[in-house]
C-alpha cells in the first residue's frame, strides 16, 4: 500500500514530503496508522549525517496511532488498538531478561541500521528501497511497521496523537531521574538544558519529591515553564556564565545528582563541577563523536563521584510507560504543556520552530 512520509535524502537539505510504498506486515510485524509523532533531537542528529545511517530514509521514533493489521505471530495487540511506539529490543538477551531493555545486546542492530534483521526495507519509492525500521518504527509517515516489543497499549480516551513522546523524550528525561539516578525524596538535582528531555527530568524530580530542582537554560520561556513544572531555581547561563558557582550559591555543598541533556562538553564540565560528594552526573545529551568524558579523574575519585551514561531513562517500556501514563492522568506529568502540533508536511518548519524555541516538543500530525 502507499502512504505519505517525510523522507531525508543524502546531500539535500530538509525533508521531502512524498508518497512511499509500505509492505504488509510480516508474521512478527504490526502495521500502525500513525496519528502523531514527536520530533526528537536524535532524529535531527541522524538526518544531519552526524550519525551513520543509509539514505534515503524515513526517520521518526516517537510515534503513536491505531493498529491496522498484525502478522500471524503477533499476540500483544489487535487491529483497532491504540498504541504508542517506543524503541525496539530483542526480548531474548540477558539484558532484556533483567528488565534492562534499553541496554539490549542487539540495540544498535535493531534500531540504527535502517533495515530489518534480514537486510530488507519495509519502505520503497520509485527509485528503490527507502531505509526504514528506525528505532523499529520509522514513524515520520502516515503508516509504520513495528513490533510487539515496541508497542504499548494506550487508552483510546487519552489524546493518543500526542502520546508518542512518552516512548522516547519523556521517558528519557523522567526515567533518568526516577530510574537511572534513582533520585531520593528530599535530594537535590541539577538539570542542564530545558528542552523536552530536561523539562521531563524536572517533572520526574518533582514526582520523586526532590527538595531542590535547579534548571540551567538560556531561553526565558523555558525557564518560566520549568518553574511551573516544579523547578525551585533556574539559572540563565548567559547572565551567570559560571554555572558551577551559581549552583553552589544555592547549595554550597553541591548537588546530589546532575543530568546533562545538552551534550555540550563545557556544560557537562560545569555540571560535574556542581556535584557534591558521592554524587552522580547522568549523561543523556548526544555529543559529537570523539568527545572525551568530562572531568578530572583525581577530583572524581577524591569525592567518590560517578559519571553515568543513560539510554531511554533505563526504561523497561511495558513497565515504565504505563507508570508514566498514570502520572499524566493524575496531573503529575503534564507533558502536554510542552507540545505544539504541526502537520507532518510542515516538518521542516517544525524543526525550525523547535530550534528557535517557539515550541519545546513538536508533534507532527500525518
CA distances, 287 to each of 51, 69, 242, 264, 360 (Å): 11, 38, 21, 6, 20
Flag whether 290 is in a domain. yes
Q: What is the CATH number of the domain that holds 126?
A: 3.90.180.10
Flag whether 329 is in a domain. no
Domain boundary among 275, 295, 310: 310
pLDDT confidence tier of residue 52, bands split at 50, 70 and 90 = confident
Q: How many domains, in total, are found in the chain?
A: 2
What pLDDT sits at residue 12?
87
Residues 222 and 295 in one domain: yes
- Other residues' Cβ atoms within 10 Å of the Cβ of residue 51: 12
What's the whole-number mean pLDDT along residues 37-59? 92
Give per-residue pLDDT as tens, 278-298. 999 999 999 988 999 998 999
What span, in angstroms and rounded, lies between the C-alpha atoms of 250 and 53? Answer: 43
Flag whether 321 is in a domain. no
Flag whether 315 is in a domain. no
Tell whether the model's pLDDT for residue 43 goes beyond 90: yes
What's the whole-number mean pLDDT along residues 242-264? 98
Residues 45 and 140 in one domain: yes
Flag whether 325 is in a domain. no
Give per-residue pLDDT as tens, 150-181. 999 999 999 999 999 999 999 999 999 999 99
Tell whether the model's pLDDT for residue 11 goes beyond 90: no
Flag whether 316 is in a domain. no
Residues 182 and 134 in one domain: no
Tell whether the model's pLDDT for residue 220 goes beyond 90: yes
Residues 254 and 350 in one domain: no
Residues 147 and 33 in one domain: yes
Give per-residue pLDDT as tens, 127-152. 999 999 999 999 999 999 999 999 99
Q: Give the predicted TM-score (pTM) of the model.
A: 0.96
Residues linked to residue 308 through DSSP beta bridges, in sequence order: 282
What pLDDT sits at residue 36?
98
What pLDDT sits at residue 346?
98
Flag whether 320 is in a domain. no
Residues 152 and 177 in one domain: no
Q: What is the CATH number of the domain that holds 222?
A: 3.40.50.720
pLDDT confidence tier of residue 88, bands split at 50, 70 and 90 = very high
What span, in angstroms and rounded, lies between the C-alpha atoms of 340 and 325? Answer: 19
What's the whole-number mean pLDDT along residues 189-193? 98
Residues 198 and 299 in one domain: yes
Residues 133 and 277 in one domain: no
Instruction: Find the radius of gyration of the CA atoms of the chain.
Output: 20
DSSP label at residue 167: G
Give per-residue pLDDT as tens, 293-327. 998 999 999 999 999 999 999 999 999 999 999 99
What's the whole-number mean pLDDT along residues 65-70? 98
Tell whether the model's pLDDT for residue 188 goes beyond 90: yes
DSSP label at residue 50: S
Residues 187 and 157 in one domain: no
Residues 144 and 257 in one domain: no
What span, in angstroms and rounded, lies between the C-alpha atoms of 279 and 342? Answer: 40
What pLDDT sits at residue 48?
87
Flag whether 326 is in a domain. no
Residue 250: domain span: 172-310
pLDDT confidence tier of residue 32, bands split at 50, 70 and 90 = very high
Residues 120 and 223 in one domain: no
Residues 178 and 299 in one domain: yes
Amino acid at each position: 500500500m502507499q502512504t505519505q512520509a517525510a523522507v531525508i535524502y543524502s546531500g539535500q537539505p530538509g525533508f521531502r514530503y512524498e508518497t512511499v510504498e509500505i509492505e504488509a506486515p510480516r508474521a512478527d510485524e504490526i502495521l500502525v496508522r500513525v496519528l502523531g509523532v514527536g520530533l526528537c533531537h536524535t532524529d535531527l542528529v541522524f538526518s544531519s549525517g552526524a550519525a551513520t545511517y543509509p539514505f534515503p530514509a524515513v526517520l521518526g521514533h516517537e510515534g503513536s496511532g491505531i493498529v491496522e493489521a498484525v502478522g500471524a505471530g503477533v499476540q500483544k495487540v489487535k487491529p483497532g488498538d491504540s498504541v504508542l511506539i517506543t524503541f525496539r529490543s530483542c526480548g531474548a538477551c540477558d539484558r532484556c531478561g533483567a528488565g534492562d531493555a534499553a541496554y539490549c545486546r542487539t540495540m544498535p542492530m535493531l534500531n540504527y541500521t535502517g533495515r530489518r534483521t534480514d537486510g530488507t526495507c519495509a519502505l520503497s519509492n520509485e527509485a528503490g528501497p527507502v531505509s526504514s525500521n528506525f528505532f523499529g518504527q520509522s514513524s515520520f509517515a502516515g503508516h509504520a511497521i513495528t513490533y510487539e516489543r515496541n508497542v504499548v497499549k494506550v487508552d483510546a480516551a487519552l489524546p493518543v496523537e500526542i502520546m508518542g513522546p512518552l516512548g522516547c523524550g519523556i521517558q528519557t528525561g523522567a526515567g533518568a531521574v526516577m530510574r537511572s539516578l534513582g533520585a531520593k525524596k528530599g535530594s537535590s538535582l541539577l538539570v542542564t538544558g530545558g528542552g523536552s528531555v530536561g523539562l521531563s527530568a524536572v517533572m520526574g524530580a518533582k514526582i520523586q519529591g526532590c527538595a531542590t530542582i535547579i534548571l540551567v537554560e538560556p531561553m526565558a520561556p523555558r525557564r518560566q515553564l520549568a518553574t511551573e513544572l516544579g523547578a525551585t531555581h533556574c539559572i540563565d547561563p548567559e547572565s551567570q556564565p559560571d554555572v558551577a558557582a551559581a549552583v553552589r550559591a544555592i547549595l554550597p555543598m553541591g548537588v546530589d545528582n546532575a543530568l546533562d541533556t545538552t551534550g555540550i562538553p563545557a556544560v557537562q564540565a560545569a555540571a560535574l563541577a556542581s556535584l557534591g560528594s558521592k554524587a552522580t552526573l547522568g549523561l543523556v545529551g548526544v555529543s559529537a563523536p570523539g568527545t572525551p568524558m568530562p572531568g578530572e579523574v583525581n577530583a572524581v575519585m577524591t569525592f567518590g563521584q560517578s559519571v553515568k551514561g543513560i539510554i531511554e531513562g533505563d526504561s523497561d517500556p511495558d513497565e515504565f510507560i504505563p507508570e508514566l501514563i498514570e502520572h499524566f492522568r493524575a496531573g503529575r506529568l503534564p507533558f502536554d504543556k510542552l507540545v505544539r502540533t504541526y502537520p507532518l508536511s510542515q516538518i521542516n518548519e517544525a524543526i525550525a520552530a523547535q530550534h528557535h524555541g517557539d515550541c519545546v516538543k513538536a508533534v507532527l500530525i500525518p
